[in-house]
Amino acid sequence: MKNKNKIIFSFLAVFMCAGLVLGGCQASSLENYKNQVSDIRENYFAGQSDNFYASFTSGMRESPYAFDGISEEKVEFGVLTIQPKQALESTMLGYTISIDDQKYSGFFEESPFDNSYSADIEQMVDDSASITITITDGQNEESISLECISCDFEISAENALDLAYNELQEDLQALCQDKGYEVYVKIVADLTQNVQDKYWLVLFYCECGDSISAIISTTDGTCLAKKTS
């Protein structure tokens, strides 16, 4: 269990370093916390080819997207992420993503934190969506079909928030009393699939700079770990 927790929080540290910590507290009930959700990931698709790992996740998030302790109006979003399996000759990578009968094209942005690349589209998809991406690297093209991994989750994003709130309720009362806060519900997954398990990360961040988070199992809703910082 110690090793699993270590792996889980190594993911959490990467997310925080990448700016995925929250900004958003004046709440005492679960419904109030739900009203302060600034980013919630509803589904997760993944696939791979000979040269790339790929994933796509979609949901609702605030716009403008800022860690300022205020949960703004929500809009649809989708994030496409790829990771090369070997060094690339060019880091100028283009993409075309086909979601059912719609297509979106553009260029990936390289992450400053790891060797992944990502692109945002303003589209939330259904779990039943048919998704294919085509990656272009110079003259080369490579297509990957993505499978809905979250379709096998027993615990939804909304369930995860409920469970995290129940687990952290006393700590949240002390942490967020009379302060602004935001809540993020994200999927923790290893793009390379070296770690097969997927988790929900529910993170509460108060305007004072303190935060508390819980890792929730996607299979049975168990709180696997929690952290205050």
Q: Do the beta carbons of residue 62 and residue 181 sit within 8 Å? A: no
pLDDT in tens, 104-126: 999 999 999 899 999 999 999 99
pLDDT of 28 reads 52
pLDDT of 24 reads 39
Angle at CA 11, nearest 5°, toward 123 and 106?
30
pLDDT in tens, 148-204: 999 999 999 999 999 999 999 888 888 777 778 899 999 999 988 776 889 999 999
pLDDT: which is higher, 208 or 163? 163
Domain ranges of the chain: 43-150
Measuring CA to CA, how many Å separate 10 from each of 7, 87, 146? 5, 24, 26
Q: What percent of the chain has pLDDT over 70?
A: 86
Q: Do the beta carbons of residue 47 and residue 83 sit within 8 Å? A: no
Confidence check: pLDDT of 42 > 80: yes
Global pTM?
Answer: 0.84
CATH of domain 43-150: 2.60.40
pLDDT of 69 reads 67
User: What confidence category does residue 227 fall into, taking pLDDT thresholds of 50, 70 and 90?
Assistant: very high
| 97-131 per-residue burial string, b: 16 or more CB within 10 A, e: under 16 | bbbeeeebeeebeeeeeeebbbbebeebbeeebeb
Measuring CA to CA, how many Å separate 17 from each of 45, 110, 112? 23, 15, 10
